[in-house]
Amino acid sequence: MDQEAARTARESLDLAFHMSNILETGLDRHTLSVLIALCDLGVNPEALAAVVRELQREPSPSVTMPSPYQTQK
């Protein structure tokens, strides 16, 4: 990728990230770049958005499960 193309890609990502923040999507810059890359590869954006919404609805695991190999006291 030449310098001009890299600069344009970076500016496009910056703009998309700014819009993402305005819309309060909760997406970080890296995640947004992966989503954009998937769209560039032909993934259906509406289906991708549905997956992202579903994943954001799931509670994050806050309790670690004990390993079956740990000894219990």
pLDDT in tens, 14-37: 999 999 999 999 999 999 999 999
CA 36, CA 66: separation in Å to the nearest integer?
A: 37
For residue 35, being part of any structural domain is answered with yes
Domain of residue 44, residue span:
3-50
Q: Could you tell me which of 13, 1, 11 has the C-alpha nearest to residue 39?
A: 13
For residue 73, being part of any structural domain is answered with no
For residue 58, being part of any structural domain is answered with no
User: What are 50's two structure tokens?
Assistant: 């549905």
For residue 32, being part of any structural domain is answered with yes
For residue 65, being part of any structural domain is answered with no
pLDDT tens for each residue of 38-73 = 999 999 999 999 999 999 887 766 656 666 666 555
For residue 11, being part of any structural domain is answered with yes
Please name the residue that has the structure tokens 């305005």: 22
For residue 68, being part of any structural domain is answered with no
- Pseudo-torsion of CA 33, 35, 38, 43, nearest 10°? -160
